[in-house]
Structure 1
Amino acid sequence: MNSRYYFALLFAVLSCVLKYTNAHYRIWNGKYRNIEKSPYLVSIHDSGMYICTGALISLQMVLTAAHCVAYSRGNLIVVEAGITDLYDTNEDGQMRGVESIHHPCDYNPKTGHMDIGVIKLHSPFKRGSRVEIIELCDTILNLGIKMRVSGWGATSGDSERHSCTLQTTHVNIVPTQECAPMAATSGKMITESMICAKRDGTSPCQGDSGAPAVANGKLCAVVSYGKGCENPDYPTVYTDVNNANVRNFLSDAMSD
């Protein structure tokens, strides 16, 4: 293990220890989630530091947000599957390096349009009780549909530290008009590639970018951006995997 990775890992472990000594760093109405209940989830690391959540759409392909990986050096990214706690060395996780990174040519980081990315791994993960793929949604979701969102993001809006253990919550799809004021204050806009979701008292947070939103057992959207984590007036914006342009991109990326 090189010194850079060692100190990054040490810092992350200490952050987790400090967090558990402060009650306000628990996820806002979220719950602990064992990876065996969501074995498609993976954590994405850059230079030894956790950066985003992703989902296995094949044993060699990870779906995440474009902004997580579009400007990263692939040789510094590692994806880990089969773990609940990012720093529990007793867990039998699997780690893979990256062969290639894909994002849409019309991805726009300023507006958030087409914020979707695919990581192709050097070699496939091995399927097991803690590692499995998830299918993509094949139906359009109606307003009010409940989606499960899980990730290792921060557990408080005023924290920059991510969670050591996997956390989960549910949100409901709301009209995209509800996201427009929040998007405007963030310098972004709502486009046809997006859907919005919220639920009072809970939400994804910093570090949950790329996390899958799952409905009826299928992956329907990917966390893109939000504004704060504890304000019911601010829904979270997701990239919609049912959008025709998104599906075309995914089809091309997976055939690479």
Structure 2
Amino acid sequence: MFFKYIVLSAIAILASAARIPEPEERIVGGHHIPIEYVPWQVSLLNNGLHICGGSIHSDRVILTAAHCLDYVAIKDLSVRAGSSHWSKGGQEVKVLKAISHSQYHYRDFPYDVAVLILESPLKFNANVQKIALAEKTPKGGSMTLVSGWGDTRYGAHFGWPILQGVHVALLDPTDCKRSHGEDVICADASGRDACQFDSGGPLVSLPDRKLIGIVSHGENCGIGHPGVYADVVFFRDWFNATINENI
């Protein structure tokens, strides 16, 4: 099992280098996506290095994956918001508290969700905005968007320095839960997926732009296996209760 990845094909790289792509083309197939398109996206940093993604729930609350907190010290964690680069720009704020779901287990990633409480509030602007939680999981076939700074191909072991995004189709939620567990949803990964260092990042429904999933795990980054995401609708009550208890 591995952290999730964004897939960007060599063909897409060459095409983007040859001409300036239109905004929608920078997303489809795994292209650079400006932060103003996904202002809820943050980078989770450990001692200043990107380890995971996250989503802005409020000015002091970030949602991410529980496995992003394995083997790290809270004192070393911060988030960067409002920048397409994980290493510079925007706003960097220290993490005060990190709460993983009590049923999370590192071995097979059940209940892979966590809440981060920031030391100080983010300042909202065009590049820093919260995202609403979905009230209902979309049906299979619905188009979604996943974004992050992860590897651009399976086994690359190199997180991308500039934010990438890709459209993926949601698989039938009932089938996904039957095969992967009640707490997750799945998205098509036929050459389009999230990958290592995208963990904790947002899966967003389109066109309403609500948070429906949190990047959790998968196999081979888009090669023969679906991407697996924590189901935000399943965890809504836990998110709300945990936030109320800790802020």
TM-score normalised by length of structure 2: 0.83
Matched, 1:52 2:17: no
Structure-1 separation of matches of 2:191 and 2:28: 7
Q: Provide structure 2 residue ranges, at least 5 long, that are not aligned to the other structure.
A: 1-9, 14-26
RMSD between aligned residues: 2.3
Quote how far apart the aligned CAs of 1:200 are: 2.1
Quote how far apart the aligned CAs of 1:251 are: 1.2
Among residues 88, 109, 130, which one is paired with 1:133 in the alignment?
130
Aligned residues of 1:70 and 1:102 also touching (Cα < 8 A)? no
Between the two proteins, the alignment pairs up a number of residues equal to 222
Quote how far apart the aligned CAs of 1:228 are: 1.2
Following superposition of structure 1 onto structure 2, how do residues 78-227 of structure 1 map, counting pairs within 5 Å? 78-87=78-87, 89=88, 91=89, 93-175=90-172, 190-215=180-205, 216-227=208-219
Structure-1 separation of matches of 2:93 and 2:201: 18
Q: Provide structure 1 residue ranges, at least 5 long, that are not aligned to the other structure.
A: 1-22, 182-188
Aligned residues of 1:178 and 1:235 also touching (Cα < 8 A)? no
TM-score normalised by length of structure 1: 0.80
Give the match for residue 63 of structure 2. 63
Q: Structure 1: which 4+ aligned runs deviate by more than 2 Å?
A: 23-29, 175-181
1:116/1:106 Cα in 2 relative to 1: closer, same or farther (>3 Å)?
A: same
Per-residue CA distance 1:4-44 (angstroms, 9 max, x = gap): xxxxxxxxxxxxxxxxxxx5895993011000111111001
Per-residue CA distance 1:89-117 (angstroms, 9 max, x = gap): 5x3x1011111001111112222111001
Per-residue CA distance 1:139-191 (angstroms, 9 max, x = gap): 2321111110000001111200100000000111114687699xxxxxxx721
Following superposition of structure 1 onto structure 2, how do residues 234-253 of structure 1 map, counting pairs within 5 Å? 234-243=225-234, 246-253=235-242
Q: Select the structure with the greater relative contact order (CA < 8 A; seq sep ≥ 6).
A: 2
Aligned residues of 1:137 and 1:241 also touching (Cα < 8 A)? yes
Structure-1 separation of matches of 2:116 and 2:100: 9
SS at match of 2:36: helix
SS at match of 1:136: coil
Amino acid at match of 1:247: R
Structure-1 separation of matches of 2:141 and 2:29: 19
Aligned residues of 1:179 and 1:235 also touching (Cα < 8 A)? no
Amino acid at match of 2:48: G
Aligned residues of 2:189 and 2:222 also touching (Cα < 8 A)? no
SS at match of 2:233: coil
SS at match of 2:86: coil
Identity %: 33
SS at match of 2:180: coil
SS at match of 1:131: coil
Structure-2 separation of matches of 1:176 and 1:220: 12
Aligned residues of 2:28 and 2:166 also touching (Cα < 8 A)? no
Quote how far apart the aligned CAs of 1:250 are: 0.3
1:25/1:144 Cα in 2 relative to 1: closer, same or farther (>3 Å)?
A: closer
SS at match of 1:84: coil
